[in-house]
Amino acid sequence: MNIPADGLQLRSEAKASGELELSLARAPVQAPGDDEVLVRIQASPINPSDLGLLLGPADISKAVVSGSGESARVTAPIPQAYLRALAARLDQSMPVGNEGAGVVIAAGGSPEAQALVGRTVALLGGAMYAQYRT
């Protein structure tokens, strides 16, 4: 299996200007280390813990979609009163998704990793709203 150079990943950015932006970004795909596997993500749940990072306190009733395909963006206003609570993450595009599941498409050299090639697995570790995860 050829390992893709990159894949799409959903990102969430709370901006100091008072706007939340959801976007897709290209993220490099890391080749698996000896005891690691590369998974093509096929499903990821949306848990309450995901919603905090994904949408925060944005007013989704006022969300606007622009662009299309990989350049699509969803923007929604964040009430001014909540910006202070978001200070640590303002103006940082962050990957989202705590859990996922998919098929192992590549593996490191260890027998344990190799045994998982072609198998469906579940993962926990963040950045799961993506096409690939090592």
Task: Output DSSP code: residue 52.
Answer: H
Instruction: Identify the bridge partners of residue 121 per DSSP, sorted by sequence position.
Output: 102
- What is the reported pLDDT for 15? 97
- What is the reported pLDDT for 1? 65
- What is the reported pLDDT for 96? 96
Q: CB-based burial of residue 134 (10 Å sphere; 0-12 exposed, 13-18 middle, 19+ buried)? A: middle
pLDDT along the chain (134 residues), means of 10: 92 97 97 97 94 94 97 97 94 96 97 98 95 97
Contact (CB, 8 A) for 80 and 92: no
Report if pTM > 0.85: yes
Structure tokens at 82: 């909540």
